[in-house]
Amino acid sequence: MTTLVERAKRVIKIEADEIAKLEARLEANGTAFEGAAKAILACEGKTIVSGMGKSGLIGQKIAATLASTGTPSFFLHPAEAYHGDLGMIDPRDVLLLLSSSGETDETLKIVPFLQDQGNTIIALTGNANSTLAQAADFHLDCAVDEEACLLKLAPTSSTTAALVIGDALAVALMDARDFKAENFARFHPGGNLGRRLLTRVEHEMVALDRLPIVASETIALDVLRSMTLGKLGIAIVCNAAGKLLGVVTDGDIRRSAEANSEGFFALTAAEMMTRSPKTITPDMRLAEAEELMDLLKVHQMIVLDAQGNLVGLLPYRAALTRRR
C-alpha cells in the first residue's frame, strides 16, 4: 500500500522533473524570452499581470515579485478588467497574461482592447499554438508533460512551471537593472533586510539621557552600581565638560579585580577604563555598525556626533536582528 509520504515524494519528483525540462524549453524559446524582458525594460508604464483561477494566483505572486525587484507591476483580474477596470491600463503598459491552456475565455476577452490600444502583450502559456500565444507579441512557454495530480486534472506541475518562468523573468530583469540589496530593502522596510540597510544607528541607539555616565574619579563600587542600573554592561567615563574619556566594561572590571584583588574597591574609573574606545556616528547605517561590531568583537559601540560629542550607545542587542 502506498503511504502518504510516498505519494508526496511522487508529487515532488514529477514537479522537479517538469521544472528540469524548462531549461531546454527556454533555450528553444530564448528569443521570445529576451524580447519579453527587453520590452519590460523599455516599458514607460507598468507591467500588468493578469490571469484567471490558479493562473491568476500565480500571476499575483509574479506581480509582487516584479514590483519588489525593481519592475513597477500590479495584478489585474481579467474578469474585473472586462467589466470596467480596463481603464486602469495605460497604452504604455506591458501586459503579462497567464493561461495554462492559452484559451481561458476571460483572459482572451481583454486581448482585442489591448491590441487596439497598442499594448505589448506577453503570453505565459503551456500551448504555443493557443489563441493567446498567437495573439501575443511574445510567448513564454511553460508547457509540462505531466501534472502531479493523480487525476491529471488539478494544476500542479503547470502552475509550478509558470511560477518558475515568472521568477526567471523577474531575476533576469533584476540583473539587467543592476538591482542591488539596497534597492530591494527600500521596497521591504518592514523586513529584516530593510531594517538592516535602511535603519541608521541613531534609530537604534540608547540616547544620552539613559546612559550610565561616571566621572574619572568615581570609585569602583559606584562604577559597578552605575553599570547595574544602566543594564548595558558598560559605564561611560566623561570629564566635566561631557567629553568621552573611556569606558568601563564587564571585561575591564574582571581584569581589574584579578590584577588588584586586595585594593580593587579603591580603584577609580580612570584606573580601570579602556581609553579611546572605538566609536561610530549616528548617521552610520545599522548594517555597517553591525559588521564593525562583529569585526571588533565588542558588545557596545559609543556613538559620537560630528563634533565628537557623546550622543548615545549602540548595544549589541540591536545587532541580533542580522542573525539568521
Given this model, what pLDDT does residue 1 score?
78
Specify the DSSP class assigned to residue 180.
-
Residue 255's contacts (CB-CB under 8 Å, 6 or more residues apart) are: none
Q: d(Cα 32, Cα 130) in Å, to the nearest integer?
A: 16
Q: Helices 157-177 and 4-28: crossing angle, nearest 10°?
A: 50
CB 148 within 8 A of CB 5: no
Given this model, what pLDDT does residue 184 score?
62
Given this model, what pLDDT does residue 139 score?
97
Nearest to 94 by CA among 135, 50, 134: 50
Given this model, what pLDDT does residue 228 score?
92
Given this model, what pLDDT does residue 152 score?
82
Given this model, what pLDDT does residue 69 score?
86
Given this model, what pLDDT does residue 199 score?
81
Given this model, what pLDDT does residue 299 score?
85
pLDDT digits 0-9 by tens, 195-229 = 666 788 998 899 999 999 999 999 999 999 999 99
Given this model, what pLDDT does residue 286 score?
86
CB 156 within 8 A of CB 144: no
Given this model, what pLDDT does residue 191 score?
57
| Residues with pLDDT less than 50, the chain | 319-324
